[in-house]
Amino acid sequence: QVQLVESGGGLVQPGGSLTLSCAASGSTFSNLAVGWFRQAPGKEREFVGHISPSGDGPYYSKSVRGRSTVSRDNAKNTVNLQMSSLKPEDTAVYFCAAYVTSHDKLILVDPRDYRYWGQGTQVTVSS
């Protein structure tokens, strides 16, 4: 079983930056691909970014590409999502999620394909 815990959410002004962290335990972290998702009130859960078990080739949704970076530290069992130039429409609960894979090039963007989920952390972008 894998446990995921997000941290780093909060209130940030438009144009500001934020780093979210996801700490994993309970399994071999280097076998996990990790995705970030977000869900705003009344909306479906939306894919944000993905990182492979090795950390190569992060992939981003169009809505955050160019202003977000996903990185991982396999020695510390953590994955970070750095976001900059934040907009009010980035306001949502952000979740990290994971699945076990031996295919480092596989990228999954559908939340239904992820087996393990954190509890989420609120990000509010407002002046």
User: What was the pLDDT predicted at 28?
Assistant: 85
| Whole-Å CA distances, 120 to 14, 37, 102 | 21, 9, 26
Write the pLDDT tens digit of every residue in 45-83.
Answer: 999 999 999 998 899 999 999 999 999 999 999 999 999
Identify the CA nearest to 32 among candidates 50, 57, 6, 45: 50
> Looking at the predicted structure, is the pLDDT value of residue 11 above 80?
yes
Written as six digits, the tokens of 112 are: 């239904």
State mean pLDDT over 3-16.
Answer: 97
pLDDT tens figures, 77-107: 999 999 999 999 999 999 999 999 999 999 9
Query: Which pair of tokens denotes residue 86?
Result: 């934040």
